[in-house]
Chains A and B, each alone.
Chain A
């Protein structure tokens, strides 16, 4: 046994070129250790990492499997450390030469994230620029969305038929962007209902959204000179249970038979239940959501659908709110920049040997 151990000890070659350095692009308290694998890497069990603060007394701080020559150590900043790595086979250990002393420190900038800093600066700057322009009164063009053009027709249809309009803002909360966009469109629809004296039914899932929507609808009626036409009972809270809300709205569709259904906001699985029931009653349906998983159901069962960002654009188009308009214009420029980078990157990547993909890492 001792002969085997001795033979084993003599047979194992230690790792070489142990080098420690301050882990780059981090907040400090970390040293990275690299070493050249032992020539006997294939037969050893593992590497053991030892550390000292004075170059004399070493303690074991970690273990690495064979075939791997990299280790990250948690340290205190501005304190010198020395490292040794031992190749281990059974009870035999072959130690490397100690590393040079190394200290860890924090960096101010993570150079690996420069592309993100540039992207945030460019996109954020564009959005802020366009918000400022909108606030100064500059006209910012946003094309009309197809679904919005249908609103007039839909409200007119309901008025001619003498039937109500159902507006369902989804099951989102007030902080959801889709819900905020939906409330802008609700205001527009409420104005038309006030103008044409069409009944509006507006059931709600969230109590806070309900209180905000009530004020919006009341103001909309007042803005077209018809405050008397506002029915407080037309905007009401139903329940905050997802499928109970869907069941309640389905009940309204089947009983009241609205001529037009608006399903605009944040939806989840109940979207298909609502859209299908509305379609079965023969109503015109205008839907809009930013939930990609629910869009297929709306596209299938509704006459017009505001897809994703079209919902925000519709809200910006209607409200002309500088914050919303500026965001849409900034995003548009962002899309142009993304498209240009993809095209330029493809040309460079196909025609030259430039490692274009590294720019994105």
Chain B
């Protein structure tokens, strides 16, 4: 008969030492895989006539579909640096940063758990050094801003991504990019955060799977890795 225990605050330190030599798991995909053809969003003009056949061929009808691209308002030309690359583009007045990142630029890491209520943190990005909700910022107001997403943090080789994996601080993974972004922003300001610092910094990121306690471990692993990296 076996009995095991996990008490995260005790184990984390021990496991950190044990795992210190582990090889990075998972490959990094090139950063510029975005801008895939589909991400044209509203700039695509769809003017077409299509014959619609009901599945199972139960009925047939013809529908003519015509539309023009939605009009981008006045100027709203912004230059946005995302993960180190500059994008000059025209946005709609009511486009949030989240929409621009996901639907125009193809960065899928800002997720959408609370659907724009500002209540979950899953769409977190680092905007001009601050961890913020991309669903609550108008892209038209961000000319000249610098944005980091989870993809960029991973590409930069920041240890927080691997630390989340090693600490098993992931379940379904839907909130995880937002967590990673917020934790990275914390480490940018505080190289040796306490458990309270971590809990407070991640207080706005909901994880319905409840992987929270392991994030102490993840952040502490990443902090150690940063401390061991010669600057």
User: Does chain A bind chain B?
Assistant: no
What residues of chain B have their CB less than 8 Å away from a CB belonging to chain A? none
